[in-house]
Structure 1
Amino acid sequence: MLLVYTHKISPRVKYVFKHICTRVLGIDVGFTTKIEEFIAHDDIKMSYTKQQLSNEFFIKSHDILFEQGLSDVEISINNWGDTKCFFFNGDKSAIPFDIFSAAFYLLSRYEEYLPHVKDAYGRFTATESLAYNEGFLHQPVVDIWAYKFKDALQNQYPEFEFPIKTYRIKPIIDVPTAYNFKLKGIMRTLGGTIKDLFSFRFKNLYIRFMVIIGFLHDPYDTFKYILNRQKQTSFKFMFFFLIGDYSTYDKGINPNKKKFVSLIKHVADYCKVGLKASFFALGDIAILKKEKLRMEDILNTNLKASRQSFSKLNLPESYRNLIELEIQEDYTMGYVNHAGFRAGSCTPFLFYDLDYEVQTPLMINSYHIMDYALLKNHSLLDKKKRLNEIIKEVKQVNGEFIPVFHNYTFSNDARWNGYKELFNIILDSANED
């Protein structure tokens, strides 16, 4: 066990040390404010405070982990080998940056509590983030820093054996609407028909009616293909089905339709299934609770995971609502139009509530690329290159790669040409050395 001596054991200190040491590096960590206990400890140890005690492994601490609430944090970005870091702490420290304070800033999403410009959907965008503006969004910097810390510790304690982690994948299949034409009801089919006519989309009109009368396969019904791919890999896919009521933002299938319920049950036989919370459930816990109970009735088990419509988050309210409803995992954290690491990490982490100064039980699984982000790369070759760059970053720190694809991504729509091949690259990446 790594014993950390510090002048104050704050909730922030315990939170970030446990993420870096236990979740990323796989070692247990304990804390003490007693010098005698620190000296007596005969395993690996370090001091994390303002002044070094003697010649022990020492990292000089920044003030942010001993504060409460938000403050005007001054951040100066510096190069550090092939990456970047902030909170420089001088030459006497074993590593030149307080990686724990820097990691806390990113993991807690400190910057998302500060004033910022939101997009049309009310979302925090990549272009508002420190990582994007300072050129390190493409790297899982928290994990990179953790491995630099590990190397420094290993130099001090060459006999200590660190656990070996391996690269993992967790593909997300987002299902805002299971079918394009099937199970839409008379009024929606009539409305869609009129829209096709006035827009001169006669091919769409033809496909619509061929699907409805059963002569053609619904273009969004790609579930057979996805489940076949699931059967060929040991990593479980996560499906998120929208079962909220029809609205301006959410246009899914009526959850009372028996065929839709059967589809969800069938998918749940092979993959993990969570709730895609509707847009209005984001700000209304009563709607969220209704959708949660609805999904639990379908799955006949407790709901463990959720994901918000449009990847929208209102911090901290969105996560507090999930905690109140005892949902254990969230998969919303990420950027729709930018690949990268919103929280700086490719290791799942617990949500830290900055207002209450407490680590919560909600596990945040931050996704690293969405299918839409790759549309900016016009050629398939460029898409493959971008995808492989992100995979390489995660592999270098033995992290968990979380991509988000939609059921319609695997359709024959020209917009999504080559996306099956991109998905296969992700699945194959888990089997490569």
Structure 2
Amino acid sequence: MLLVYTHKITPRLKYVFKHICTRILGVKVEFTTKIETFIAHDSLKMSYTKQQLGNEFFVKSHDILFEQGLSDLDINVQNWENTKCFFYNGDKSAIPFDIFAASFYLLSRYEEYLPHVKDEFGRFTAAESLAYKCGFLHQPVVDIWAYKFKEAIQAQFEEFKFSEKSYTIKPIIDVPSAYNFRLKGFMRTLGGVVKDIFRFRFKSLYIRFMVILGFKHDPFDTFKFLINRQKNTKVKFLFFFLIGDYSTYDKGINPNKKKFVSLIKHVADYCLVGLKTSYFAIEDISILKKEKLRMEDILNTTLKASRQSFSRLNLPESYRNLIELEIQEDYTMGYVNHIGFRAGSCTPFLFYDLDYETQTPLKIHPYHLMDYALLKTHSLLDKKKVLNEIIHEVKQVNGEFIPVFHNYTYSNEKQWYGFKELFNIILESANED
């Protein structure tokens, strides 16, 4: 156990120390404001305050963990060996930066509560983030800092044995529409036919009729391939099916179609299944509740995980709605068009509500790569290089790598050429030393 002496025990302090020490490094952590208790402790210990007590392991604290609400922070990002950090705390500290304050800033998504420019879907973009602007989005800095802290404290407590965790992967299959042409209904099919004709998409028109007549396989129906891959790997895939009502943004399959329900049940026999919430469910808890109950009826079990449509997040309301409906996990934290670590970590963490100053039970699993971001790189060789680089970053800190691919990513469409091979690289990375 690590005992931390500090002048004031706050919810923020407990939250971030437990993420770094317990979730990343596997060490239980306790806190005290009593010097006598601290001196009497004969194992791993450190002080986290403004002034060092004696010659103990000491990290000089920044004010952010002792504040409430938001303040105008002066952030100066500096180089630190193989990475970057901020909240420099001088030479007297055992490590040159207050990694706990910096980690809290990233994990709590402090910057997303501050004024910023949103994109056309109302999303916080990578370009608005400190990590992107200062060139460390590609690194899981919170985990890297945690291991630097471990190295420093291990030098002072040589006999203490830290537990080791290992690299894991959690492949996400996002299903906004299970089929491109099947089960769309007469009016939607007619509308599709008219569009194809007016846009001179005769190849699409031909495939549409061949699929509807049963002579050809629907291009989005890659579920047989995915289930076969699932049967040959120990890693559980997590599917997110959209079962919301048809709208401007959500054009999935009608959830009342028996064949669609049967597909979800079939996938759930082999893989994990969660809810891909519809575009408008993010703002309306009644829609979210309806979709949750609909998915629970299909799965015949309690819904555990969700992912927001278009990767939209409106903090803190989006997460509060999930908590109110007792959804335990969310997989929306990431950027659609940029590869990297939105919250600075590749270790799942609990959502901290900055308005209420409380740690919540909602576990955030940040994703680090979406298939669309890989389309920016042109050749398959470049895609492999980028993919291997992000895998390497996560492996270095024994984190959890979460890629998001879609069901149509595995189709034979030209733009998705080579993505089956990329998926195999991800699956094989879990078996390598």
Q: TM-score range by the shorter chain?
A: over 0.9
User: Which residue number in structure 1 is paired with residue 209 of structure 2?
Assistant: 209
Distance 2:209 2:35 in 1: 77
Residues 25-424 of structure 1: pairs in structure 2 closer than 5 A: 25-424=25-424
How many Å separate the matches in 2 of 1:201 and 1:300? 41
Residues 4-35 of structure 1, C-alpha deviation per residue, up to 9 Å, x if partnerless?
A: 00000000000000000000001100000001
Helix, strand or coil at the partner of 2:306: strand
Report how far residue 231 of structure 1 moved. Answer: 1.2
- Scaled by the length of structure 1, the TM-score of the pair is 1.00
Q: Distance in 2 between matches of 1:359 and 1:201?
A: 52
Distance in 1, matches of 2:52 and 2:279, equals 51
Supply the distance in 2 between the matched residues of 1:4 and 1:234 (Cα, whole angstroms). Answer: 39
2-side partners of 1:63 and 1:386: how far apart? Answer: 38
Counterpart Cα distance in 2 of 1:280 and 1:325: 16
- The aligned counterpart of 2:6 is 6
> 2 CA distance for matches of 1:94 and 1:411?
53
Indicate the SS of the match to 1:376: coil
Shift of 1:373: 0.2
CA deviation string 1:258-311 (max 9, x = no partner): 000000001111111000000000100000000000000000000000000000
CA deviations over 1:85-115 (Å, ceiling 9, x no partner): 0000000100000000000000000000000
Greater than 2 Å deviation, 4+ residue runs: none
Deviation at 1:46, TM superposition (A): 0.3
Unaligned 5+ runs, structure 2: none
Q: Please, what is the CA RMSD of the aligned residues?
A: 0.4
How far residue 235 of structure 1 moved from its aligned partner, in angstroms, is: 1.1
Q: What is the CA-CA distance between 1:128 and the residue it aligns to? A: 0.3
Displacement of 1:43 in angstroms is: 1.2
The 2-side partners of 1:23 and 1:171 are apart by: 21
SS in structure 1 at match of 2:31:
strand
**One-letter identity of the residue aligned with 2:332:** T
**How far did 1:185 drift?**
0.3
Q: Distance in 2 between matches of 1:98 and 1:229?
A: 44
Any idea what SS the aligned residue of 2:59 has? strand
**Scaled by the length of structure 2, what TM-score is found?**
1.00
Residue identity in the other structure for 1:119? D
Q: Look up the equivalent residue of 1:319 and give its one-letter code.
A: Y
Amino acid corresponding to residue 115 of structure 1 in structure 2? P
3-state SS in 1 of match to 2:136: coil
Where in structure 2 are the equivalents of 1:10-25 lying within 5 Å?
10-25=10-25
Q: Distance in 1 between matches of 2:81 and 2:180?
A: 49
After TM superposition, give the deviation of residue 243 of structure 1 in Å: 0.1
Distance (Å, rounded) in 1 between the aligned partners of 2:263 and 2:101: 46
Q: Displacement of 1:233 after TM fit?
A: 1.2
Residues 200-235 of structure 1 deviation map (CA, whole Å, 9 limit, x = unaligned): 111111110110111100000000101111111111
Shift of 1:334: 0.2
- The one-letter amino acid paired with 2:427 is L
Question: Distance in 2 between the 1:233 and 1:107 partners?
Answer: 31
Between the aligned partners of 1:172 and 1:432, the Cα distance in structure 2 is 20
**Aligned residue type for 1:6:** T
Aligned-residue offset at 1:414: 0.1
Q: Which amino acid aligns with 1:385?
A: K
State how far apart, in whole Å, the 2-side matches of 1:197 and 1:353 are: 51
1:132 is aligned with what amino acid?
Y
Give distance in 1, aligned partners of 2:297 and 2:213.
30
* CA deviation string 1:179-214 (max 9, x = no partner): 000000000000000000111111111110110111
* In structure 2, distance between residues paired with 1:83 and 1:219: 43
Quote the Cα distance in structure 2 between the aligned partners of 1:150 and 1:324.
36
Q: How many angstroms does 1:42 deviate by?
A: 1.3
CA distance in 2, matches of 1:14, 1:91: 25
CA–CA separation in structure 1 for the residues paired with 2:272 and 2:3: 37
